[in-house]
Every structure is written in structure tokens, then in C-alpha cells.
Amino acid sequence: MDVEAKPGELKQAEGPVAKARAAYSKVADSPIGKRVKGLAPKTQRTRLIAAAVLVVLLAGLGYWFWGGSGSASEALIVTVEKADVEDSVTALGNLQPRDYVDVGAQVSGQLDTLHVDVGATVKKGDLLAEIDPQLQAAKVAADQAQLKNLRAQQADRQAQLDLARGQYSRQKMLKAANATSEDAYQSSLSSMQSAIAGVNSVKAQIEQTTSTLKGDQVTLGYTKIYAPMAGTVVSVTAKQGQTLNANQSAPVILRVADLSTMTVWTQVSEADVPKLKTGMAAYFTILGSPNKRWEGKLRQILPTPESVNNVVLYTALFDVDNKDGDLMTQMTAQVFFVISGAKDAISVPIAALKRYKPRQKLYKATVVTESGRQEEREVQVGVTNRVSAQVLSGLNVGDRVIAGTKTEMSSTSQRDRTGGAAGRRGGQGGGGFRGFP
């Protein structure tokens, strides 16, 4: 019985089945093919069924070998374009006000009144809080009373001195006329000298009491707490009515900070610290505004490191302007310290470059011409990162280069997606961030 294939079936078999038929003659003569022929029954129908099964199996194998492997190794061609290329060190940072003051109490007592709340804007000299002044006021009143008493004593001693001086003057004239005894003269002289000492003693007591009065008046003034700088109240740690003890240390009542300039406290891995230089450009983004950059310059690298989970981290500081008030205290920042960069440069993916003379920044790239022919070129690169490289020579805008295969690029893209923003910019991770006061 002859089996005739329909036109539609022949057309459908032109794909992987056609490939299988091309290898059928070779497989049929192989040991496996001979074994299949030996096991097949001799009837015409069963032979056709066995042949159909063999064709299907060979079609699947052909598709797996030729069709599957062909798509997996398909070259990925990218076009050389102009873009910004940046080599940077990345790290996590934390925002803190550059200038702030912890306002504390210098006297003990009950916090009677708190005039501000968190978020209040204050000027230098504004009244912030008041402590119960009764004890300090009583000391001032006692000093003032003591001072009045001493001044009265001073007036009395001065009168006694004037009398003693008059008596001494008379005794001196009488002695010159030999009209008084030596004993009376010496007694008047001693009385005058004693009166002078008494006046001087009272003067010293007045000075001492005056000094004590001034100190107690200053202490009384400490019961009213004024803003030492203009800024914003960012925290209040004491409660109204709370008793403050300033005998051992000054208790903090609130913090006033100038939020117009913020400092980014960044922790950088010890492996990346040698790449940082004071004055180098830096910028950061925050979670709430990932597309907006705040820029500054590296101000300082603190010499003492921190050790977090056996990882040594150094703190790098730089300041940014915050006049618009978008930045808040304790915000997390994704920081980038720019080592080098090129704006609007001819760039090519790193995957399209093959190592040639890396110390001289020479690489090779496979270019696909308009005719489809592949040619290898020597490429001089400039700024590079994990993703792309600046092309100085060897390639032009619009050139098509081979950057691996689609399967490889799919795996790379998946890794890049999980790598985060730091990976896309080609930087190095800087570790976690410890809080600052």
C-alpha cells in the first residue's frame, strides 16, 4: 500500500523534518538504524509505522541539534553610539546637618516652660525654654542684701577713719610743740592705721560679694535658655515639667540645626579609599528622588576607620546645598565619587571588546560591515567601567560590533538587574552605613 503525503503535510515537513531526512540515510546505515530495521516487522503497514516513528524521532533530534543550537549561538550586534561614560566609586551614605548645636541646661531645676516644638524655625537669641528660677533668684537677693550691709559697714569704717586721722593730726601738731606725750601720739597713730585697715577690709568684702552677685545673676540668667544659632529645631529630648540635674553633666533639652547645608557621611571600603582624593567631584541620589542628583566635592576622609562585620570602612564627608529643603536628616544616600568621566563620548559595551594590550588600553573588536562581512579592529579606549568604555580610536558612531550572543547577554542582563544602580554605573560597593548622632 502506497502512502501519498498531502501538499500541506509536505510543506509542514520542510522544517526540522527536512533536516532529519537529510541525515536519515546516514542514520539508517548506523548500528542503531540497523537494529531498528531488524526489530521492525516485515509487513508493509508495520514498516510504514516504524519508519514514521523513526522519522519523528530523528526530526526531534535534528531540531534539538540544529534549530536549538543555532538560536543559542546567534550573535548579538550592537551599534556604536555617543553617551556619557563614568568611572566611579559607589558607597552608601547618611545625611546630617553640617552645623548643629545640642542645647542643654547649665542649672538644675524643673523645666517650667518649653516654648518650641520639633520643626520650629528659630533665630539666634530666641527664647527656647525656662527653668524654675526661684532658687537662683533667692541667691541673687541674698547677695544684694549682703552687699548693702557691707556698704553700710564701709560708711561706718570710713567715719572712724576720718576721726582717727583728725586725732592723729592734732597729736602731731602738739608733739611738734612738745605739748603732748609720746604715748598719746603713738595711740592716735595706731588708731588711724587700724581705721585704714578696717576700711580696706570692708572694701575687699564688697568686691567679693559683688563678684558672687554677678555669678549668681549669670546663673539666674541660665534659667532662661536662648537659641545659640539660627536654624530648625530637629529634636526635643526633655519634657515640660521634667526635673533637670546639671550637677554632673549638662542635660540636653533640644537640638537646633542649620538645614541649609547638609553633610553626607559616607562609609567607603578600604579597597576604594586609595582612589579617593580631597576635592574630587561627588554626587548622590536618594530613594525619594532617584533621578535627581545633588553634587558636591569631597571635603575630608576621617583617619580612624570603623570595622563592621570584619570589613574596614572609612568615613568620607562632603557638603551639599539644601536651600530648597528637599533633604532631611538621616536620609539614606547612594553616593558616587567620580574618578574620571567623559561627556558625549563615543562608547561601546565592554562585552564587545577583547583583551589585546590592556596596559596600553588597546583592545580588539569584531565589526560587521554593511555587506555582512566580519572584520577585526584595534580599538584604543579611555574611560572605562564595568558596562561600557570610551572609544578614542578604531570605531566610529554607527559601526556595528559583535557583543557576544543573545543567550549570554540575557544572562548578563539578568545579573545587571539584580546588581542595582551601582552596577549600572560601574562602581564598587562601599558597604553598609552606621548611624551618626
With a cut of 80, say whether residue 220 has pLDDT above it.
Answer: yes
Other CB atoms closer than 10 Å to residue 22's CB: what's the count?
12
With a cut of 80, say whether residue 192 has pLDDT above it.
Answer: yes
The percent of residues in the chain predicted with pLDDT above 70, rounded, is 76
Q: Which of 12-16, 226-230, 322-326, 382-386 has the lowest mean pLDDT?
A: 12-16
What pLDDT is stored for residue 360 in this prediction? Answer: 87
Confidence bin at 12 (pLDDT 50/70/90): very low
CB-based burial, 347-373: b 16+ in 10 Å, e otherwise: bbbbbbbeeeeeeebbbebbbbeeeee
Q: Any bridge partners for residue 296, and if so which?
A: 282
Contact 228, 124 (CB under 8 A): yes
Sign of CA dihedral 403, 405, 408, 411: positive
Higher pLDDT, 15 or 436: 15
| Spatial distance between the Cα atoms of 215 and 219, rounded to a whole number of angstroms | 6
Which distant-in-sequence residues (6+ apart) come within 8 Å of 113 by Cβ? Answer: 129, 130, 240
pLDDT digits (tens, 9 = 90+) for 137-164: 999 999 999 999 999 999 999 999 999 9
What pLDDT is stored for residue 6 in this prediction? Answer: 41
Confidence bin at 355 (pLDDT 50/70/90): confident
DSSP tag of 274? G
With a cut of 90, say whether residue 3 has pLDDT above it.
Answer: no
What pLDDT is stored for residue 1 in this prediction? Answer: 35
| Spatial distance between the Cα atoms of 311 and 65, rounded to a whole number of angstroms | 49
How far the first Cα of the chain sits from its last, in Å, is: 93
| Spatial distance between the Cα atoms of 197 and 154, rounded to a whole number of angstroms | 11
Where do we find the cell 524643673? 110
Alpha-carbon 97 to chain mean position: 12
Which of 160, 138, 153 is closest to 204 using CA atoms? 153
What pLDDT is stored for residue 271 in this prediction? Answer: 93
What pLDDT is stored for residue 100 in this prediction? Answer: 94
What pLDDT is stored for residue 141 in this prediction? Answer: 96
Crossing angle of helices 44-62 and 16-28, in 10° steps, is 120
What pLDDT is stored for residue 270 in this prediction? Answer: 93
Which of 344, 337, 249, 242 is closest to 297 using CA atoms? 337
What pLDDT is stored for residue 404 in this prediction? Answer: 82
Which distant-in-sequence residues (6+ apart) come within 8 Å of 345 by Cβ? Answer: 82, 83, 84, 85, 382, 383, 390, 391
What pLDDT is stored for residue 69 in this prediction? Answer: 42
Long-range contacts of 211-216 (CB under 8 A, 24+ apart): 212/143, 213/140, 213/143, 213/144, 213/147, 216/136, 216/139, 216/140, 216/143
Burial class (CB in 10 A: 0-12, 13-18, 19+), 150: buried
Higher pLDDT, 54 or 145: 145
With a cut of 60, say whether residue 5 has pLDDT above it.
Answer: no
Other CB atoms closer than 10 Å to residue 402's CB: what's the count?
18
Where do we find the cell 559697714? 153
Contact 1, 45 (CB under 8 A): yes
What the block records as the C-alpha cell of 217 is 545673676
What pLDDT is stored for residue 73 in this prediction? Answer: 54
Average pLDDT, the chain: 82
**Mean pLDDT value of segment 379-393:** 91
What pLDDT is stored for residue 31 in this prediction? Answer: 56
What pLDDT is stored for residue 48 in this prediction? Answer: 60
Confidence bin at 46 (pLDDT 50/70/90): low
Q: Which of 49-53, 114-118, 138-142, 413-417 has the lowest mean pLDDT?
A: 413-417
The percent of residues in the chain predicted with pLDDT above 90, rounded, is 64
What pLDDT is stored for residue 359 in this prediction? Answer: 85
**Mean pLDDT value of segment 322-328:** 91
Which of 392, 394, 384, 398 is closest to 349 using CA atoms? 384
Crossing angle of helices 182-221 and 134-176, in 10° steps, is 160
Helix (H) or strand (E) holding 338: strand 332-349
Q: Any bridge partners for residue 110, and if so which?
A: 243
Which of 437, 363, 360 is closest to 395 using CA atoms? 363
What pLDDT is stored for residue 23 in this prediction? Answer: 52
pLDDT digits (tens, 9 = 90+) for 395-408: 999 999 998 876 55
What pLDDT is stored for residue 74 in this prediction? Answer: 77
With a cut of 50, say whether residue 418 has pLDDT above it.
Answer: no
Q: Which of 107-116, 298-307, 412-421 has the lowest mean pLDDT?
A: 412-421
Contact 65, 19 (CB under 8 A): no
With a cut of 60, say whether residue 80 has pLDDT above it.
Answer: yes
What pLDDT is stored for residue 57 in this prediction? Answer: 65
Other CB atoms closer than 10 Å to residue 95's CB: what's the count?
22
